[in-house]
Each structure stands twice: as C-alpha cells, then as structure tokens.
Amino acid sequence: MSTPAHSLPGPPPGPMPPLSCGEGDDPPFDAPTVYLGEPGALLASVPAMVGFTPERSLVIVVLRVPGDRQQAPPGTARVDAVVRFDLESERGVALPADAVAECVADIQGPGRVEQIIAVVVDERGQHERGSALVTGLAEHLGAAGLTLGAAYSLSGFTAGARWRDLLDPAAAGTLPDPADSPVAFGHVLSGQPLRGSRTELTDLVAAAPDLTAAVERELPAVAAATRADYADAVRRGVPLEYSRQTAEFVLRQISAPESGAEPQPRELARIAVGLRDRAVRDIMFALAAGPHATAAERLWLLLTRALTGADRAEAAVLLGYSAYLRGDGPLAGIAFDLALDALPGHPMAVLLENSLRSGMRPAQLRRLVLCGYESATDLGLDLGPRR
C-alpha cells in the first residue's frame, strides 16, 4: 500500500479498494523477545521491525510464546510478525478495521499467539480517529477468536515523543531513542538497511526513464535475433542448447557487477528477452540462496528500473523473491506490487505476495531455490553451493 498523498487534488473519496494485507517484515536475525511491561521500549523497536520509519500508519505486532517457555524470562514474548497499513487510501478513505482484522487472522506462525499489539502513528494528533480504529479492530479480532492485547498512539518515532495507551487513557510515556533499540542493533549486525521512510524504498525501485528508453530502443533487434537463434536450435534438434546459452549469458552478467562492470542497455535488453524463457527464469530463483545472491539482486533491481510491461514484472518478481528470502519484507512487498502493476495477475507475483501477506516464513519458500537448481542441472549448468 502506498503512502497517502498530502493535500493533492484528485478524485473524490469513494469506496475503499480491496485491502492489501499491509507490509510485513520477517526479521532476518533471530526473532527478538520483548518485555510486555515496557511499552516505550517495544514502540522504539517498531521502525527497525517494519524496515523503515512509519508515518500515518497502523502497525500490528503479533507476539507468540517463545518456543522454550521455561527458559524465557517471565513477562516476555517473541515478535512473530509485524505488518503495516496506511491509515488512509490515496483517495482519503479511512482504513477499514474489519479488513485489517481479516489480514491479521490470516497470518501464519508456529505456536500460540501471546498478544496482538496495535500502534497508530499520526503526526496530525487525531487521537479520536485512532481510538475508533482500534475499537473496531478489537471487535473484529474478537469475532475471529483473537484478542487485541494493547494499543498505542504516537505522533512519530523521534526520541522523546509522547505515546498514549488507547486502551487505558491513564497510561502514557515518552519514547526512547529508536536508534538505540536492541532490534535496530540486530538489524545492523545482520546487514539489513534501516531506512528513514517508505519513500526511500519506492525511490529505490522507481523507473529510470533515460535507461528505460535506451533499453526499449535495443529490444526489437534483440528479440528478432533471439527468435532466429531459437529457431536455429530447434532446426538442429537441440532446443535446450538455446536455453543453456541464454542462461550462461545472464549468469555472466550477474558476475560482471561483482568486478565493477554494469550491463549496458543492449545487454539489459538481452537479459530481459532471456528471462522470457521459463527455464532460464526458473534458474534465476536459485541464485537467491547462492554465493551470488547480492550481485543477482542488484541486477534484478537494475532491470526493474529499466524495463516495462511483462519484462518489468519478471525482473520485479526475482527482486522480490531475493528480498523475501533474506528477510526484507518491505522491499519484497513493494517489488511484488510493481510486478502486479506491470502485469496484473502474474502467477508467481500473486503466489509470492499472498505468501508474504499471510506471514509465510522465507524458509517455507526455498522450494523455488530447489526448482532453480533442478532446472540448471537439466541444462548441464553448475550453480555452485547453496547457502
């Protein structure tokens, strides 16, 4: 879901569009255990758990009982899932509590839910609207057999910001510095970026018009040459030879950035056309768990910015899967949204987005890695060890 526009003219408010189940982050480090009696410390951890600093958002934190309850400190629970929603649609329609509750109820996870916590972030200070949203959320969660254990509101995530308890008007406090939270420290240790806002993510994957135009100029000739190469391979009775050579070319381009060389527009066009071959595309999923995962993700990001239509969708799906597997849920969600915008109904984008929104763990999606290795073996390619 995109960040709401600020005071921009547009269509009048209408029915709320179907709700996407927020943006979630499955922490790449060991899931943190938090003390339920320290709201300020928990709230200070929210930006790191979301992956960026939320604004005008509802953040849901799902806590579960630690696996070994006997060894866990009293009064603690494990952060199992964190999901963010915009408070309003782009047309100014308020977030529907019933749809949020449905999304939260669909989140999968091991063990019993210890507590569900809602955090309303709104610098406009609209405490009453936040209270109404939380009241509706509690009712709909209750109908699904879940309990909203705590709810807080605050204007933003700066040190010293005042937070209020939406379920207990007498309770309030000040926010510790989010940069000093143990969860933020865990992100730094795991190499995960701490982004200042969602805009940083959307800017990261935004189309690059000049590069897109340059690649578009190359695509017709590249596509024609590719069709000729494939037809020649079929005439010679070796169609798999075309797929193998195409995969080898893409793999070489992934290795190139590791030495400082970036693919040029014609090479990007060749990669885009190559990914239209399903066997080649399937192989690329394997790279998300291999030694070249970082370089591959960098190429998928570049392609996402350089391509349009179905070609952009394929690149964005690979980018999203790579981010998903390393635990960067916010980037994965944005990439899958881009893929579906570029090619509505893209089967793999739909599958992966639904998996992300339901809280499916990255480890549960490693089957795609295995399929990629199997496809590579079928073509006689060795992708090296898996991570």
pLDDT at 363: 79
Number of neighbouring beta carbons within 10 Å of residue 159: 12
Q: How confident is the model at residue 356 (pLDDT cuts 50, 70, 90)?
A: confident
Residue ranges of the domains in the chain?
23-194, 206-378
Record the tokens describing residue 43, joined without a space.
Answer: 């709230």
Beta bridge partners of 82: 61
pLDDT at 1: 31
111-125 pLDDT tens trace: 667 789 999 999 987
Q: How confident is the model at residue 16 (pLDDT cuts 50, 70, 90)?
A: very low
Residue 327 and residue 27 in contact, taking contact as beta carbons nearer than 8 Å: yes
Query: Could you give the CA distance from residue 333 to residue 314 in angstroms, rounded to a whole number?
Result: 15
92-108 pLDDT tens trace: 888 999 999 988 888 76
Block residue for tokens 């009241």: 135
Mean pLDDT, range 18-45, rounded to an integer? 62
CA dihedral 324, 330, 336, 339 (to 10 degrees): -120
Q: How confident is the model at residue 74 (pLDDT cuts 50, 70, 90)?
A: low
pLDDT at 13: 33
Packing angle, helices 329-342 and 347-357, rounded to 10:
150
pLDDT at 137: 94
Q: How far is CA 62 from the centre of its chain?
A: 17
Residue 90 and residue 10 in contact, taking contact as beta carbons nearer than 8 Å: yes
299-309 pLDDT tens trace: 999 999 999 99
Q: Minimal CA–CA distance to 270: which of 232, 306, 318?
A: 306
pLDDT at 303: 97
Query: E-assigned strands of the chain?
Result: 23-24, 33-35, 57-64, 76-86, 113-121, 148-154, 162-165, 172-174
pLDDT at 187: 59
Q: How confident is the model at residue 199 (pLDDT cuts 50, 70, 90)?
A: confident
